[in-house]
């Protein structure tokens, strides 16, 4: 079931409040550390979304980084701050205008089955051409709520940007939609990159090595031109999610948002550059990056890995304009030791991108990114194994597909394993793996935030074949897992509930017996 799209971040919060999923925080809370600490507590308990109605200006510092005093807006107030918006599977589904994350995943799967049998990315490129999606294309409008207030002499201190961890280099914008454009093709990219506030009109742009915005920056530098940048905040939360989605270059994130919303995203042109931004966003920061200017020091930052990413040099943005709604709300998140709110953004990506992965690897049945793997460190995959060495073939193929290239540890199971039951996965992996036979180690690109890699963005990957081993793979006679017949389990479950009425439902691994046809010396275990 699809919900209506949201006309503002405020309308999404109203939906959460009606459902008892929002807590208004009337107490004055400081954007320096205090908000993040409270949101961290809520995220780890899958607690409610938080709306800080009275951000307290920090008493620390003189208005300059790393911890500057907040300047009030011209009307004397400070923007309220919304956090932990995506802090549960239920809220994340609602943010994507659906009741369950499997709904848009199944719709995407059906659309992909309509397309000709071309490559994974080619199918994505075809989506705008499919008639059903014509209504989901971005809509260009002349004006919108995000222009209700225009500041041509912008001061970023009027925005309650958070400092989330004690050793952060300063306040960071953490939930942005960073809009850039390829100067050669004109194609737009919307990414989610942290942005450090360096002063009233300057931001450090954390564009990592493998990101599309970095490629755009290199192109502008080659042309000797200033690079226009726009940073949208808030609006329909589906827009925020799509900025985080690992779409390939050339796929418009706002088109993908339109698919999720079942309605095209209205876009308005910026006032000081020629980019377009969501007309219903809460806040937009416009500016330019000069590729010829010296890089600036950015960081440290308490990152989603749970560790501080170290300070490094990145391009600087000069802010030229700030526009906002009259009732704007500033969205923010805190990342750090898992589980955190970003777990659920990752879970949405896991469910939505599984059908896309299956177009290239139809043997994949399911996948899971455990919270402790902070998305790129660990992936569990269940597959239909069809020939000796199939699991290792799948590993190499997945490491060659888009953002999966950054997956440091890939564990492959048979299709009778529930990859979302991490207890079962641990049991199966430790039981089924022989270190000499079943581990694959190779060198390749890794996430730039991987501090364990011996070189920047380059390190080793580990593949683990946790499937049943066939005779051709050097397997001996392979035992079956212990499982009672389903009809017996149902009777005994009912009896147990009668004699122990307070008992929680039985929690058992999903272990169907192997199909008889595949249980032979040639097509099954030895």
Long-range contacts of 423-431 (CB under 8 A, 24+ apart): 423/509, 424/509, 424/510, 425/368, 425/380, 425/466, 427/509, 428/466, 429/464, 429/466
The length of the chain in residues reads 526
Q: Is the preceding omega at residue 379 within 30 degrees of 0, hence cis?
A: no
- Residues 257-278: tens digit of each pLDDT: 998 999 999 999 999 999 999 9
Q: Whole-angstrom Cα distance, residue 155 to residue 379? A: 42
Nearest C-alpha neighbor of 365 from the set 407, 408, 394: 394
| Alpha helix positions (H), 174-247 | 212-223, 237-244
Three-class secondary structure of residue 130 per DSSP: coil
* pLDDT exceeds 70 at position 77: no
Q: Whole-angstrom Cα distance, residue 339 to residue 337? A: 6
* pLDDT exceeds 70 at position 517: no
- Cite the active site residues: 303
Would you state the pLDDT for residue 37?
A: 96
Q: Which two tokens stand for residue 146?
A: 């995000």
Domains of the chain: 9-331 (2.30.110.10), 361-526 (3.40.1670.10)
Would you state the pLDDT for residue 526?
A: 42
Would you state the pLDDT for residue 120?
A: 47
Nearest C-alpha neighbor of 81 from the set 118, 132, 29: 29
Distance of CA 469 to the CA centre of its chain: 35
Give the strands of the sheet with 22-25, arranged side by side: 22-25, 49-52, 81-83, 330-331
- The answer to which of 216-230, 243-257, 334-348, 495-509 has the lowest mean pLDDT is 495-509
Nearest C-alpha neighbor of 460 from the set 447, 439, 442, 448: 442
235 phi-psi bin (left φ>0, alpha ψ -120 to 50, beta other): left
Strands 276-278, 266-269: pairing is antiparallel
Would you state the pLDDT for residue 314?
A: 94
| Residue scoring higher pLDDT (180 or 115) | 180
| Residue 476: pLDDT band with limits 50, 70, 90 | confident
Average pLDDT of the segment spanning 512-520: 45
Q: Is the dihedral of CA 119, 124, 126, 130 positive or negative?
A: positive
Which of 234-249 are b and which e, b meaning 16 or more Cβ less than 10 Å from the residue's Cβ?
Answer: bbbbbbbbbbbbebee
CB 506 within 8 A of CB 500: no
Q: pTM, whole model, 2 decimals? A: 0.87
Please state, in angstroms and as integers, the Cα–Cα distance from residue 290 to each residue in 185, 220, 222, 287, 472, following that order: 20, 9, 12, 10, 59
CB 428 within 8 A of CB 396: no
Q: What are phi and psi of 151, to 5 degrees?
A: -120, 105
Residue 87: CB atoms within 10 Å: 27
* pLDDT exceeds 60 at position 115: no
Q: Whole-angstrom Cα distance, residue 251 to residue 129? A: 12
- Residues 275-317: tens digit of each pLDDT: 999 999 999 999 999 999 999 999 999 998 889 999 999 999 9
Nearest C-alpha neighbor of 490 from the set 479, 506, 504: 506
* pLDDT exceeds 60 at position 519: no
Q: What is the mean pLDDT of the chain?
A: 87
Which of 170-188 are b and which e, b meaning 16 or more Cβ less than 10 Å from the residue's Cβ?
Answer: bbbbbbbbbbbbbeeeeeb
- Residues 190-222: tens digit of each pLDDT: 999 999 999 999 999 998 777 788 888 999 999
Average pLDDT of the segment spanning 118-144: 69
Q: Which residues, other chains included, contact 334 with Cβ-Cβ below 8 Å and sequence gap of 6+?
A: 35, 36, 39, 40, 43, 83, 162, 164, 174, 340, 341
Q: Whole-angstrom Cα distance, residue 444 to residue 136? A: 37
CB 156 within 8 A of CB 204: no
* Rounded percentage of the chain residues whose pLDDT exceeds 90: 67
Q: Whole-angstrom Cα distance, residue 512 to residue 482? A: 10
| Residue scoring higher pLDDT (523 or 323) | 323
Q: Which two tokens stand for residue 315?
A: 């391009």
CB 30 within 8 A of CB 58: yes
SS3 of 434-461? CHHHHEEEEEEECCCCCCCCCECCEEEE
Would you state the pLDDT for residue 520?
A: 44
């Amino acid at each position: 079931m699809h919900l209506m799209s949201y006309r503002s971040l405020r309308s999404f919060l109203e939906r959460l409040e009606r459902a008892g999923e929002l807590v208004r925080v009337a107490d004055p809370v400081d954007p320096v550390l205090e908000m993040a600490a409270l949101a961290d507590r809520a995220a780890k308990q899958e607690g409610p979304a938080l709306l800080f109605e009275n951000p307290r200006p920090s008493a620390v510092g003189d208005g300059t980084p790393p911890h500057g005093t907040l300047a009030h807006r011209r009307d004397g107030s400070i923007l309220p701050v919304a956090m932990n918006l995506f802090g549960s599977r239920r809220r994340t589904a609602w943010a994507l205008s659906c009741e369950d994350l499997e709904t848009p995943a199944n719709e995407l799967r059906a659309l992909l089955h309509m397309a000709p049998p071309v490559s994974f990315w080619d199918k994505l490129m075809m989506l705008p051409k499919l008639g059903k999606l014509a209504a989901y294309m971005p809509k260009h409008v002349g004006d919108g709520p995000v222009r209700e207030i225009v500041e041509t002499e912008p001061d970023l201190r009027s925005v309650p940007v958070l400092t989330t961890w004690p050793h952060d280099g300063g306040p960071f914008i953490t939930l942005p939609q960073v809009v850039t454009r390829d100067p050669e093709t004109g194609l737009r990219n919307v990414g989610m990159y942290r942005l450090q506030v360096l002063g009233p009109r300057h931001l450090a742009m954390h564009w990592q090595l493998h990101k599309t915005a970095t490629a755009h920056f290199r192109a502008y530098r080659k042309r000797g031109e200033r690079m226009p940048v726009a940073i949208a905040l808030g609006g329909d939360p589906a827009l925020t999610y799509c900025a985080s989605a690992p779409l390939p270059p050339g796929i418009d994130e706002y088109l993908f948002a339109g698919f999720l919303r079942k309605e095209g995203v209205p876009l308005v042109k910026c006032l000081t550059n020629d980019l377009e931004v969501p007309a219903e966003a809460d806040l937009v920061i416009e500016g330019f990056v000069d590729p010829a200017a010296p890089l600036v020091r950015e960081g440290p930052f308490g990152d989603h890995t749970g560790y501080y990413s170290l300070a490094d040099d990145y391009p600087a943005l000069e802010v030229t304009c700030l526009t906002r709604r009259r009732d704007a709300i500033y969205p923010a998140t805190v990342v750090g030791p898992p589980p955190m709110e970003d777990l659920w953004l990752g879970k949405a990506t896991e469910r939505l991108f599984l059908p896309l992965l299956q177009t290239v690897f139809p043997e994949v049945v399911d996948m899971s990114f455990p919270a402790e793997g902070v998305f790129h460190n660990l992936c569990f995959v269940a597959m239909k194994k069809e020939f000796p060495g199939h699991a290792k073939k799948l590993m190499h193929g997945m490491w060659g597909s888009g953002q999966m290239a950054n997956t440091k540890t890939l564990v492959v199971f048979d299709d009778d394993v529930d990859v979302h039951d991490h207890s079962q996965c641990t049991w199966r992996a430790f039981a089924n793996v022989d270190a000499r036979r079943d581990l694959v180690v190779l060198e390749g690109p890794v996430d730039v935030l991987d501090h364990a890699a011996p070189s920047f963005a380059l390190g080793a990957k580990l593949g683990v074949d946790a499937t049943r081993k066939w005779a051709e793979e050097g397997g001996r006679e392979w035992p079956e897992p212990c499982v009672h017949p389903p009809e017996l389990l149902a009777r005994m479950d009912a009896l147990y509930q009668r004699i122990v009425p307070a008992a929680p439902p039985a929690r058992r691994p999903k272990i169907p017996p192997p199909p008889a046809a595949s249980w032979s010396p040639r097509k099954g275990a030895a």
